[in-house]
Amino acid sequence: MKLIGIVGTNSNQSTNRRLLQFIQKSFSEKADIEICEIKDLPAFNEPKEHTAPSEVKKLSDKIEAADGVIISTPEYDHTIPAALKSVLEWLSYTTRPLIDKPVMVVGASHGSLGSSRAQAHLRQILDAPELKARIMPSAEFLLGNSLAAFDESGNMISEDKKQELTECFEEFLMFVKLTNQLLEEHDFTTSKKKKFTWEQAADGGNNE
């Protein structure tokens, strides 16, 4: 199974990157996970003719080709970082590769809550008509006090958290398999969803 892990921040020292690296290493026999950075992507600026910059298009193509996506987000001021929001705006306004794509949301934070409010907000954003991801329900992985969560080799210290992550990941693999099977067997008009525009809707979305 081919998965994409998106580091949801432009920080060079993020524990969310360490979390995805741990997931990549720990479950390498179950899935091929490529970690993608967003720190070098340009800030969203509404483009002419809905065309994505080349750097955004590369990320979009990787998402499109993957069986599923894992997004790891920190929490800034009770929500996701501006850099992650910017990337989602690019994707929603241009190529829309997340439509009907299975997504798992995880997160690490320096505080005790483990990015719980940011994860809830991210789920809400991913449900927007221009993104419309298939978000794994009733499961979240929250890694609090993340500065002390890994040893020098990048291994997660808490056995309880490792077991929790293993269960979440195995559930996600099943979710990806079932979701993609459902999409293959039934016509959910993904192509029509990608043509959605707020110019023909009453309100909301990427409009100014």
pLDDT in tens, 37-93: 999 999 999 988 889 999 999 999 999 999 999 999 999 999 999 999 999 999 999
143 CA to centre of own chain: 16
Note the pLDDT of residue 200.
57
The β-bridge relationship of strands 32-36 and 141-143 is unpaired
Determine, yes or no, domain membership for 208.
Answer: no
Neighbours of 60 (CB within 10 A): 19
Q: How far apart are CA 143 and CA 115, in angstroms?
A: 8
pLDDT at 193: 61
Whether 189 shows a pLDDT value over 70: the answer reads no
Instruction: State how far the Cα of 33 lies from the Cα of 17, in Å rounded to an integer.
Output: 13
pLDDT reported for residue 114: 86
Specify the pLDDT at position 206.
57
Query: What is the token pair recorded at 206?
Result: 């990427």
pLDDT, tens digit (0-9, with 9 covering 90-100), for 127-180 = 999 999 999 998 889 999 999 999 999 999 999 999 999 999 999 999 999 999
- Residue 148 has a pLDDT of 97
Residue 19, pLDDT > 60, answer yes
Q: Which of 92, 126, 46, 122 is nearest to 194 (CA)?
A: 92
What is the rounded distance in angstroms from the CA atom of residue 137 to the CA atom of residue 96? Answer: 21
Query: Has residue 206 been placed in a domain?
Result: no
* CA of residue 106 relative to chain centroid, distance: 8
Would residue 42 count as lying in a domain? yes
Please check whether residue 110 lies inside any domain of the structure.
Answer: yes
- Number of compact structural domains in the chain: 1
Residues near 187 by beta carbon (within 8 Å), at least 6 away in sequence: none
183 part of a folded domain: yes
The CATH number assigned to the domain holding 14 equals: 3.40.50.360
- Identify the domain containing residue 89 by its residue range: 2-200
Q: What are phi and psi for residue 4, nearest 5 degrees?
A: -115, 130
The pLDDT value recorded for residue 49 is 82
Q: What pLDDT, on a 0 to 100 scale, did the predictor assign at position 190? A: 60
pTM: 0.90
Tokens 């996600």 label which residue?
A: 172
Whether 14 is in a domain gets the answer yes
41 in a structural domain: yes
Phi-psi region of 160 (alpha: psi -120 to 50; beta: other; left: phi over 0): alpha
Under DSSP, is residue 101 helix (H, G, I), strand (E, B) or coil?
Answer: coil
Average pLDDT of the residues in 4-9: 98
Looking at the domain assignment, is residue 205 inside a domain?
no
Distance separating alpha carbons of residues 69 and 180, to the nearest angstrom: 13
| Integer Cα distance of 11 and 89 in angstroms | 19
Q: Write the pLDDT tens digit of every residue in 23-36.
A: 999 999 999 999 99
